[in-house]
Structure 1
């Protein structure tokens, strides 16, 4: 696909999100007209940072109200757009009442609603869906089923369900719905970005992300005795944003893209933070054995099934496709980690620990 009109507007759903904000910043600084959707236009604080970026850029920002669960909610915002970045998705990992109603249905039905509107909007030529690395695997033990001890774009999460790891399940089901709808037509092309755990500076303090929850767990004293033997793929937020733009405007982009700069264990994350911030926080001193969490896990939110399937298995990801086809050159995510923690400290999201 080489005939994208750069003067055409582009749509970004979930505009106030952590990654979406960086995508919009890059689009605006490159002169694009961005149609950005938010759930409530009256909550100006949630998108004030985008308006400020637009004021100092050559691009144009147009805000629209849209709701993932309302059919045709994105119709007005999508008019005239050739590129759609579908980035809106519920972020509910804990503290939910009903996994299906609170997590899975919003993700899948939201994707379906947006893509139904894409099917009805003749101008759209390419759709970029923000999926997740959780769409490629469900439990860390799944790494034992891979040929090279590495997850790549050929792998799918087949071990999550409505009752076991419902958030990863919502990501894989939403992505499968997107591919199902893309394969049922031939006018527009779908590209999916599957980022690892995202760190790095946020453009606004009013964001939610899995990385914030990870960093907060090192500040409340619960990990001082030790962390579980668990690993995460990690990546800088600006690399994820750049992957989205390359997926949109690079004519060679196709299929899925794992976007991951490194793998770090929870202990390695804690040690990196301790080396920089010293003993101002109760960073973990060591890694507790899996056997310990089989005993204490149920008392601190880890089911025995989760402990058995996710602790003690280092996981790795092959991001070479993103490097070769999207031209990504990954930032040092260790620096991103420190920068992100410092920003959360400056913004008051994380407070110095007082025992």
Structure 2
């Protein structure tokens, strides 16, 4: 691919998502025409923030209704597009009834349906898929198999399954499906963005993300007794959005990109929040030993295998490729954490703790 810009519309699937909203904002402010898909055009509250951004931007926004599980659902929205940013994906980590039906099939079939539409749309030249660092590893213990004690783009999650870590399994299987479909043709190329745990301000209080769940647990007393010895790669949502735009327009972008601004333990996250918000919340003060979770983990949703494979192993990610090829200059992840928690307070998602 040689183009660095496009005069045609750009398709963004899953437009109301946390990262997708920032991507659309940036595209609109750069003057692009954006075709954005949502699950239900009647739920205007879910995309009101996008319409407001569009009204104040140089670009234009056109909304389409599409369903990941319906073949040809994205055909209309894709017409005339040279670039497709596939960002729609089911987000269900807990409280699911059937991992295959609720998590895995929607992720894989959704990717397949979108890329079938790409195959049927002659104008498309590049596809950017939002994947996850969960595609690079399944359990924290996998870090011990790496040569330099860090995951990079050469690593793939080979340890998750339908019954063990089904959400990471859905991410890696969806990404593998995307690469298989890309290799089966020659017209369009593919770039995958693999972000760490995403923090930072949301453009709407309606956003669901894994980071919101973590911060809610910090604020509601669930972690008051202590947190498990676990670490997260973390990245600011605005850096993830920048990476998507670079992946879309940079002719040299290719392959996969880990997007991570650094690693923090759950205890470090708690300390940072206490430093900034004081003792108004029951932020964790202690890191409980792994042995404690082996005993009591099953009573709070941690299986024995999960405890054994994921607690006590600091994990790190090599984001050099994104810095060199996508020109990403990562924001301070501690600031991202503080900004995100402050917004959850402002939006009423998190309330002052009353023991």
Partner of 2:170: 170
Task: Name the SS for the 2:219 alignment partner.
Answer: coil
Partner of 1:333: 333
What is the rounded CA distance, in whole Å, between the counterparts of 1:212 and 1:318 in structure 2?
A: 24
Q: CA deviation at 1:3?
A: 2.9
Partner of 2:204: 204
**2:178 matches 1:181:** no
Partner of 1:104: 104
Partner of 2:259: 259
Return structure 1 stretches of 4+ with deviation > 3 angstroms.
Answer: none
Q: CA deviation at 1:282?
A: 0.3
Partner of 2:14: 14
What is the rounded CA distance, in whole Å, between the counterparts of 1:293 and 1:4 in structure 2?
A: 51
Partner of 2:39: 39
Q: CA deviation at 1:7?
A: 1.3
Once the two structures are overlaid, the 10-residue window that deviates more, 1-10 or 187-196, is 1-10
Deviation digits for residues 162-181 of structure 1, max 9, x if unmatched?
00000000000000000000
Give the root-mean-square deviation of aligned CA atoms: 0.6
**2:90 matches 1:90:** yes
**2:301 matches 1:301:** yes
Partner of 1:147: 147
Task: Name the SS for the 1:256 alignment partner.
Answer: strand
Partner of 1:246: 246
List gaps (5 residues or longer) in structure 2.
none
What is the rounded CA distance, in whole Å, between the counterparts of 1:37 and 1:222 in structure 2?
A: 36
Once the two structures are overlaid, the 10-residue window that deviates more, 82-91 or 5-14, is 5-14
What is the rounded CA distance, in whole Å, between the counterparts of 2:121 and 2:26 in structure 1?
A: 25
Task: Name the SS for the 1:95 alignment partner.
Answer: coil
Deviation digits for residues 245-266 of structure 1, max 9, x if unmatched?
0000000000000000010000
What is the rounded CA distance, in whole Å, between the counterparts of 1:343 and 1:226 in structure 2?
A: 24
What is the rounded CA distance, in whole Å, between the counterparts of 2:80 and 2:93 in structure 1?
A: 35
**2:67 matches 1:73:** no
What is the rounded CA distance, in whole Å, between the counterparts of 1:66 and 1:35 in structure 2?
A: 11
Task: Name the SS for the 2:263 alignment partner.
Answer: strand
Task: Name the SS for the 2:235 alignment partner.
Answer: strand
Deviation digits for residues 9-38 of structure 1, max 9, x if unmatched?
000000000000000000000000000000
What is the rounded CA distance, in whole Å, between the counterparts of 2:284 and 2:266 in structure 1?
A: 9
Once the two structures are overlaid, the 10-residue window that deviates more, 213-222 or 238-247, is 213-222
What is the rounded CA distance, in whole Å, between the counterparts of 1:5 and 1:26 in structure 2?
A: 14
Confirm or deny: 8 A CA contact 1:4 1:82 kept in the other structure: no
Deviation digits for residues 298-317 of structure 1, max 9, x if unmatched?
00000000000000000000
Partner of 2:49: 49
Task: Name the SS for the 1:94 alignment partner.
Answer: coil
Q: How many residues align?
A: 355
Deviation digits for residues 62-106 of structure 1, max 9, x if unmatched?
000000000000000000000000000000000000000000000
Partner of 1:227: 227
Partner of 2:276: 276
Q: CA deviation at 1:6?
A: 2.1
What is the rounded CA distance, in whole Å, between the counterparts of 1:53 and 1:220 in structure 2?
A: 33
Q: CA deviation at 1:4?
A: 5.3
Deviation digits for residues 121-177 of structure 1, max 9, x if unmatched?
000000000000000000000000000000000000001000000000000000000
List gaps (5 residues or longer) in structure 1.
none
Deviation digits for residues 328-347 of structure 1, max 9, x if unmatched?
00000100100000100110
Q: CA deviation at 1:220?
A: 1.5
Task: Name the SS for the 1:103 alignment partner.
Answer: helix
Q: CA deviation at 1:5?
A: 5.0
